[in-house]
């Protein structure tokens, strides 16, 4: 059947039971309304009513949206229908969104701290804070699932392959270095740690990506990462190397 969207009316069937309110049903309703549709909302208020609906239409999930008498599907299918997402078979399983979010927030935090401390956004300390805060936030991502991170880390880190426990120590080292460098304290601890893990990491990433030409996922934002191993991963390690070298020099000469 052709898709008739001229009427701008859609039927939505979604679970709205006392013990369960389907969030994707609400997201589907909101999306339809933002696309200018009048929504005929049909809450499924019991397990029996939901099961009967799914059996009748031969579906296994709700919500389900109908436009012009044609079933569009759930929330994800609705986004494809409105061309907000590509079809599933064209969607990539890699994304840079996590690292973009982390570096953007770290940059804004650094600028905010610089403005608060010095009354100016663009300061040397803001640049240092950007790197140290990025390290700390990236460490948080890894520490959410140390086991998952260490497993993915073994795919490419040269030291972790020789000493498996290093994969579980790494996130703590990055966190300690990031926090201490943000505070500008105990540089005799933070600088060597950052320099060591950054150097090992940079060599490992460079070998895996640019010499061995392997296509891997980066563990930089945790064990369930969809970020490809490559330039971003190398940048993280180069930033740690820079801070490991720069912070002691700064303490001595500035």
- Tell me which DSSP letter residue 228 carries: B
Take residue 246 and report the two structure tokens written for it. 């720069």
Residues of the chain with pLDDT under 50: 1-5
- Residue partners of 139: CB distance under 8 A and separation at least 6: 171, 172, 174, 175, 178
pLDDT of residue 5: 46
- Residue partners of 69: CB distance under 8 A and separation at least 6: 1, 4
pLDDT per residue as tens digits for the range 141-197:
999 989 999 988 898 899 999 999 999 999 999 999 999 999 989 999 999 999 999
pLDDT of residue 89: 58
CATH number of this structure's domain 9-90: 3.40.30.10
Helix (H) or strand (E) holding 105, with range, is helix 97-118
| 230, 218 Cβ separation under 8 angstroms | yes
| 25, 54 Cβ separation under 8 angstroms | no
Sign of the CA dihedral 108, 84, 28, 5? Answer: positive
- List b or e across 92-129, with b for residues whose CB sees 16 or more CB atoms inside 10 angstroms: eeeeeebbeebbeebbebbbebbeeeeeeeebeebebb
CA distance 4 to 191: 63
| 147, 223 Cβ separation under 8 angstroms | yes
pLDDT of residue 214: 85
pLDDT of residue 203: 95
Beta carbons within 10 angstroms of residue 163's beta carbon: 10
- Residue partners of 108: CB distance under 8 A and separation at least 6: none
| 8, 33 Cβ separation under 8 angstroms | no
| 167, 157 Cβ separation under 8 angstroms | yes
CA distance 207 to 155: 12
Nearest alpha-carbon partner for 194 in 243, 149, 157, 233: 243
pLDDT of residue 88: 65
Q: Measured between alpha carbons, how far is residue 56 from residues 52, 60, 252 in Å?
A: 6, 11, 75
- Residue partners of 202: CB distance under 8 A and separation at least 6: 234, 237, 238, 241
């Amino acid at each position: 059947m052709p898709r008739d969207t001229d009427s701008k009316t859609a039927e939505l069937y979604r679970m709205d039971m006392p013990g369960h309110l389907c969030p994707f049903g609400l997201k589907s309703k909101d999306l339809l309304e933002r696309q200018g549709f009048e929504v005929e909302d049909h809450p499924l208020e019991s397990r029996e009513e939901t099961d009967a609906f799914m059996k009748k239409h031969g579906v296994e999930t709700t919500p389900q949206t109908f436009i012009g008498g044609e079933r569009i599907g759930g929330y994800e299918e609705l986004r494809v229908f409105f061309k907000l997402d590509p079809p599933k078979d064209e969607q990539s399983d890699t994304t840079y969104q996590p690292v973009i979010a982390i570096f953007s927030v770290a940059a804004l935090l650094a600028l905010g701290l610089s403005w608060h401390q010095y009354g100016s956004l663009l300061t040397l300390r803001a640049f240092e804070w950007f790197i140290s805060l990025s390290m700390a936030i990236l460490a948080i991502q890894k520490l959410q699932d140390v086991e998952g991170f260490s497993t993915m880390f073994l795919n490419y880190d040269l030291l972790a392959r020789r000493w498996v426990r290093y994969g579980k120590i790494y996130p703590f080292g990055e966190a300690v270095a990031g926090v201490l460098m943000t505070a500008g304290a105990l540089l005799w601890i933070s600088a060597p740690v950052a320099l060591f893990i950054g150097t090992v990491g940079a060599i490992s990433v460079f070998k895996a990506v640019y010499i061995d030409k392997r296509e891997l996922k980066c563990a930089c934002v945790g064990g369930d990462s969809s970020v490809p191993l490559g330039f971003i991963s190398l940048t993280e390690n180069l930033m740690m190397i820079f801070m490991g070298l720069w912070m002691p020099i700064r303490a001595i000469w500035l």
